[in-house]
Structure 1
Amino acid sequence: MIYIRAGLFAEGRTDYDFLCPLLDRLLDVLAADLFPGNYLIAQSSGIDAPRGTAGGRAEKIAAAVHERWDDCTLFVIHADGAGDPAEVRRRQVDPGIESARALRTDRAIVAAGCIPVREIEAWMLPDQEVFHTLCGMDVRCPRDPERERDPKLTLRRLLEGGGLRRPPEDLYRFFGERVRLDALASLPAFCTFRDELAAALRDLAATP
């Protein structure tokens, strides 16, 4: 039996609100395909570095992973791509994972990067059905959400255009629980994350 509990290191509260439920659903789909009938998924948990951790983002990622090493079996490191996700991975995500590995050489760390092209809000934009559920009317979603220069502003505009007056920040978990994975599969950055997460699960299954 493969026990899966993800520890998510993200940039802010709303990122956790969206990504934790999305991650739980995605892990269940991937694990069902990879390990049919032979896995158990616990609820994903937000992780953070202890207060007062010195250093930059890499050191904070490493400290957060070290803090939750005993109760999480894989780690997801989120960082907004700011238009250059490859550079963000090189400067932030990979050094953080390597720093975590350097802290704990006694165990293999299983990890995946979660890096949208600009902001995670782009991953809330491809599924018109979620907006229809929220607003009770059709909302025209962008054809290519990852090309939106300000996905957060686009999300606010779509919700206001649909007559919704609640702050978007209150709805991130709603989107994380409901945005369809097949709609997200139209986004290359999400597909990269999905494939990296699947590879991490394979690594987890191979880890003693």
Structure 2
Amino acid sequence: MTRRRLYLRVGLYAEGKSDYHFLLPLLNRLLPPLAASRFPGACEVADSLGIDAPQPAPEERAERIAAAIADRWEECTLFVIHADGAGDPESARRSCIDPGIEAARRTYPNVVTVPCVPVHETEAWMLVDVDVFRTVLGSGAQPALPAEPERENKPKLTLQRLLKAGGMRLNPERLYSSFGEGVSLAALRTLPAFQIFETELVEAIRAVARAQGWPG
């Protein structure tokens, strides 16, 4: 008897190029253990895919999100939609993510989506782990990381300052993939916005499983 397998592939719609560089490798690390812990020995998780609306893209963000989902519908089983919170993540979710999900559901009523909304900017999620800075800057690096990264009003500027102080002369955005590949998941799980994201990602995995015939 062939054992049923759960297939997962995330399509990521993000605000900017640098957000893809960080979030795609992060998702590739995060998704497999989350799925395996709930469906042990029965998961196939493909690399996450950056998605965008095909050109010419619609002017409205909601329609661009819907077009991006439609373009990769056959390849992805769930879709992560990112927006920076700009200090009010609930408002950002309502204005920047929910309309796009609603637009996508007009064509795909059963689309599985996960909002990804840092409190201010994605860069706050890079400020939780001194060891990943040492990977980037060298083992002797001693960055003065903020005690509460999600309270930083401009975490992107904080990240740039810390990297410059550590001797980095490259454009910081070229290093975002290194942060996505190396930042501690345990440290990320201390951040409230990340906790919300991970909780909703787990629920999305379960929704995909139900759609593929798994019980519950």
Q: 2:12 matched to 1:19?
A: no
**Counterpart residue identity of residue 111, structure 2:** I
Equivalent in the alignment of 1:118: 120
Match of 1:177 among 165, 176, 181: 181
TM-score scaled by length of structure 2: 0.93
Alpha-carbon deviations, 1:41-72, whole Å to 9, x = none? 10100000111232411111011001110010
Equivalent in the alignment of 1:148: 152
Question: Which secondary structure state, in structure 2, belongs to the residue aligned with residue 75 of structure 1?
Answer: strand
Q: 2:65 matched to 1:61?
A: yes
Match of 1:35 among 26, 34, 39: 39
**Counterpart residue identity of residue 157, structure 1:** R
Question: Which secondary structure state, in structure 2, belongs to the residue aligned with residue 204 of structure 1?
Answer: helix
State the 1:95 CA deviation: 1.2
Alpha-carbon deviations, 1:22-56, whole Å to 9, x = none? 01111012112111111001010000011123241
Q: How does 1:1-208 map to 2 (within 5 A)?
A: 1-105=5-109, 108-136=110-138, 137-208=141-212
Give yes or no for contact 2:136–2:178 (8 Å, CA) kept in 1: no
d(CA) in 2 for partners of 1:76, 1:133:
27
d(CA) in 1 for partners of 2:176, 2:56:
28
Alpha-carbon deviations, 1:112-138, whole Å to 9, x = none? 000000100000000010112222222
**Counterpart residue identity of residue 192, structure 2:** P
Alpha-carbon deviations, 1:151-175, whole Å to 9, x = none? 0100011111112222101100000
d(CA) in 2 for partners of 1:54, 1:201:
29
> Which ranges of 4 or more aligned residues in structure 1 deviate by more than 2 Å?
none
d(CA) in 1 for partners of 2:31, 2:65:
21
d(CA) in 2 for partners of 1:74, 1:104:
12
TM-score scaled by length of structure 1: 0.96
d(CA) in 1 for partners of 2:198, 2:15:
19
Q: Percent identity of the aligned residues? A: 55
Where does structure 1 lack aligned partners over 5 or more consecutive residues? none
